[in-house]
Amino acid sequence: MRIALFAETYLPNVSGVVTHVHALRVGLENLGHQVLVICGDNSYGRHLLKDNVLYCPGYVSQKFYDYTLSRPWSLERVKYLNDFNPDIVHLHTEFGIGMFGMYWAQSHDVPLVYTLHTMYDDYIYYIAPRPFIPAARSLSHKFFARYIKAADAITGPSQKCQDYVDALNLQRSVHIIPNPVELDKFDPAQIDPSAVEAVRQRLGLTADCDYVLFVGRLGKEKSADDLIRCWAAAVQPEDKLKLLIVGEGPVRVELQQLTTSLGADDRILLPGKVEHADIPPYLALGSLYATASLSDTNSISMLEGMACGLPVLQKYDPINADQIIEGVNGFVFRDAAELRQKLKAWQALTPELKAAFSRSTRQSVANHSYEALASRLLEVYAEAAAVHKLTPHRSLPLKLTRQLKSAAARIYKRPRIFDKRKD
């Protein structure tokens, strides 16, 4: 089967969506399928097909993770897709690249699968001032509904995705398929002890403390400020517990200031940006993973911590309540008092019980391999193809096609970014 995966960005950029798309690509290829990734990338300034990845030019957005946002229409891109001739189009983005993928699938009568990765209601503040958030949210619902309506099948990594679709009053079912994790890379037995010791020395970490980690982009939606407040209230220096918030992002300075204002610099460390390839030794020196984020659907960083054997301290999220099972792969807390209670319960365990807890946590994500993800999606692809045959052909209206071309010509035609050849 030939499968086209559309993502707004791809490696070497790193994000949860990029990790998911790469895992799916590898899993599908390992199962013998042909995959083409179509993504935005401003490194080349032109369309470039390299190692089965089609890089599409665009402009870098400072607000959105410094990713390249590409135009929703390109004749050159059409030619590449026509040459590949995919059996399935699978969208992992809703912006320029995703819009193009939806157009191409509809105009070529190809089954369309859409994965809803992000709860965009939690990101509206990036683009709209506070007074305009309600109006922006309403517009975003109409925008994303277009993809949900157009898709022959929809997937998402958690129940939150189904709830989002239901909130838009769209009668569509979402296939809940958890995110993948690279189990071997985060196997504690495979992580070099000298690399772990190097991290310990670099951060000045002592051996008499237990370390609890959060890893991720430090944006407002991750609620790291909530985690810091809870930790500062729940943990005292004599508890021999320290929280490491690993990552970079627009609120990192604010988080450091908050930590200082709470007098918690001795209990909370923010070491800054760490490349994804260098994360395993950080996780390996930890004892637990913690998160207060309510915006994540099925956090890949959390799954990586679990694959490393770190039980999770998760702030209660009723929609994702099934992700953490008390005593099996972590604990759930609602406030600082409950966080302290759960930390004390973990500290009271014998070394043998802690080791068993770690093994149980790792086992809970054992079915999140790349091949498992690909196998589940292949079942969805088969369903989408069957549904597509029974559905009247839904090509884009000519008026909308003209609007896409016109918008691309007005917004994206920037000589300093694109080459001058006709696209």
pLDDT of residue 67: 64
Distance CA 313, CA 290 (A): 4
Select the more confidently predicted residue: 137 or 108.
108
Select the more confidently predicted residue: 71 or 192.
192
pLDDT of residue 360: 97
Class of domain 2-180+370-411: alpha beta
Of 54-58, 238-242, 287-291, give the lowest mean pLDDT range: 54-58
Distances, alpha carbon 58 to alpha carbons 37, 47, 104, 357, in Å: 16, 10, 18, 47
Select the more confidently predicted residue: 206 or 60.
206
φ, ψ for residue 270 (rounded to 5)?
A: -120, 85
Q: Rounded mean pLDDT of 209-231? A: 95
The model's pLDDT over 293-305, given as tens digits with 9 standing for 90+, comes to 987 878 999 999 9
pLDDT of residue 118: 78
pLDDT of residue 331: 96
Strand order in the sheet with 330-333: 268-272, 241-246, 210-215, 288-291, 312-315, 330-333
Q: What is the pTM (predicted TM-score) of this model?
A: 0.82
pLDDT of residue 109: 94
Q: Do domains 2-180+370-411 and 188-363 have the same CATH topology?
A: yes
The model's pLDDT over 43-52, given as tens digits with 9 standing for 90+, comes to 888 899 999 9
Place of tokens 């925008």: 143
pLDDT of residue 384: 97
Confidence of residue 406 (pLDDT cuts 50, 70, 90): low
Select the more confidently predicted residue: 416 or 394.
394
| Domain spans of the chain, in order of start | 2-180+370-411, 188-363
pLDDT of residue 322: 80
pLDDT of residue 61: 67
Distance CA 29, CA 31 (A): 5
Q: What is the mean pLDDT of the chain?
A: 88
Residue 181 scores a pLDDT above 80? yes
Residue 62 scores a pLDDT above 70? no
Residue 160 scores a pLDDT above 90? no
The model's pLDDT over 331-373, given as tens digits with 9 standing for 90+, comes to 999 999 999 999 999 999 999 999 999 999 999 999 999 999 9
Residue 97 gets the label, from left (phi > 0), alpha (psi -120 to 50) or beta, of alpha
Helices 351-363 and 300-307: crossing angle, nearest 10°? 130
pLDDT of residue 412: 40
Select the more confidently predicted residue: 386 or 423.
386
Q: How many CA atoms lie within 13 A of 189 on its CB side?
A: 5
Residue 124 scores a pLDDT above 70? no
Please name the CATH architecture into which domain 188-363 falls: 3-Layer(aba) Sandwich (3.40)
Indicate the pairing of strand 58-60 with strand 68-70. Answer: antiparallel
The model's pLDDT over 252-278, given as tens digits with 9 standing for 90+, comes to 999 999 999 999 999 999 999 999 999
